[in-house]
Amino acid sequence: MTESLQPPYLQFDPATRFLRLNPHEPRFVQNPYEAYAWMHDQSSAFFWEDYGFWCFGAYDDVNRLLRDRRLGRQKPEGAPDSQGNLGDRGHLTAFDGIEANSMLELEPPVHTRLRTLVNRAFVSRQVERLRPRAAGLANELVCGFEKDRQVDLIRAYAAPLPITIIAEMLGVPTSMGPQLLAWSNTMVAMYMHGRTRQTEEAANRASHDFADFLRGYVAERRRNPGDDLLSLLISAQEDGERLSEDELISSVILLLNAGHEATVHQTGNAVRSILAQGGDPRRFFTSPEATAATVEECLRFDAPLHMFTRYAYGETELADGITIQAGQQIGLLLGMANRDPNSFSEPDSFLPGRTDQKNVSFGAGIHFCIGAPLARIELQASLKTLFDRLPELTLAQEPRLRDSYHFHGLERLTVQW
């Protein structure tokens, strides 16, 4: 293995392990793996000055720290938020109200209770039964643009499929798909580096409107329950306890947001990765087993989420002599961990048949993505259908990634056939 060349846009001090790397640097946005490879050669644990906290990119460290109960998602009193912001949050009342009851931002025992209730309802839907619907919807979407000879796959395929399925699961109108996407995109902008007051106020408005919309549907389902996930969440019980109204709203928003955001990015990333291999793309989807292996390699090779932050709940020794104090954050770099040369042979090669497949793209531990089974089914169905229907697919123009680290996805994916 040859040592990578230092990218010119970053500065690293090996003595202190301090890294300067603007996450908005265009070359880094378009290819973070260049920097990851060089950092793996230098130190997979480093203090990222632009964020103000220690980050870990070695696979073993990330996998272990995701499961470390000394760390968690719930923000300690007085600690900065995930982007290092402190100060008045009076303009974020609606957004904070949703996060306060979101199981993604909570720890046991509250997290355990919420996840058990939501998971019970989610599992009771038998997600595997949605595979035919995912394949059928994928075919419908391809029929909608097959004659055009050119299309932006993000807008016409990657985005509508998962939002339609999660809306159908919850029992909300699929015609609301574009509005649900708009609310979700506005809310998740809160997790981006360097957000502005304008971003915060927009996210708060979206949170308020999203919650108001859902409260109307919750009231209707309480009066007239149906065979949908919203009705199941309303009726789910654990030791006689049910979700409160606020917990229910936060859980549904989390499922809607998480139910499509990463899948949209991963679909686009996967199509780009597969097209880059050349040849007939159908060779990656010759059987259910080959399709599943291809999706797992897509998840490893170009993950949709690159950073997951956590707080320390006491003085904590993490790795390589690094100790942090209570209330401080760390960043776990999932995309970097998935390319760790110490854990994957030929980490920068796309090899669906690899025997060392163990990506951390869905996380690990108690916050492992609750929607992972659904995302895998959607990705398997949509990618196989797309390439079976349009095996001559090629890029019409070089795709560009959005400037949105942590979320790693394409602005558009214009293809032709």
> What are φ and ψ of residue 414, in 5° steps?
-85, 120
Assigned domain for 410 exists: yes
Assigned domain for 219 exists: yes
Q: Domain of 260?
A: 11-416
Assigned domain for 211 exists: yes
Q: Among all chains, which residue has been given the structure tokens 């793309």?
A: 281
Assigned domain for 5 exists: no
b/e burial code for range 380-405 (CB count within 10 A of at least 16 → b): bbbbbbbbeebeebeeeeebebbbbb
Measured CA distances, 32 to 44, 267, 298, 400 (Å): 14, 18, 16, 13
Beta-carbon contacts of 296 under 8 Å, excluding residues fewer than 6 positions away, are 352, 357, 359
Assigned domain for 1 exists: no
Assigned domain for 221 exists: yes
Assigned domain for 6 exists: no
Which residue type is seen at 93? T
Tell me the C-alpha distance between 371 and 362, whole Å.
9
Q: How many residues does the chain have?
A: 417
Assigned domain for 4 exists: no
Please report, for the domain that includes residue 238, its CATH number: 1.10.630.10
Number of domains in the chain: 1
**Is-contact 45 57, C-beta < 8 A?**
yes
pLDDT tens by residue, the chain, 417 residues: 556 789 999 999 999 999 999 999 999 999 999 999 999 999 999 999 999 999 999 999 999 999 999 999 998 877 766 566 666 788 999 999 999 999 999 999 999 999 998 887 777 556 888 999 999 999 999 999 999 999 999 999 999 999 999 999 888 899 998 899 899 989 988 988 888 999 999 999 999 999 999 999 999 999 999 988 899 889 887 777 888 999 999 999 998 887 788 899 999 999 999 999 999 999 999 999 999 999 999 999 999 999 999 999 999 999 888 999 999 999 999 999 999 999 999 999 999 989 999 999 999 999 999 889 999 999 999 999 999 999 999 999 999 999 998 899 999 999 999
Beta-carbon contacts of 28 under 8 Å, excluding residues fewer than 6 positions away, are 7, 9, 10, 21, 22, 34, 35, 405
Give the H or E element holding residue 200.
helix 197-223
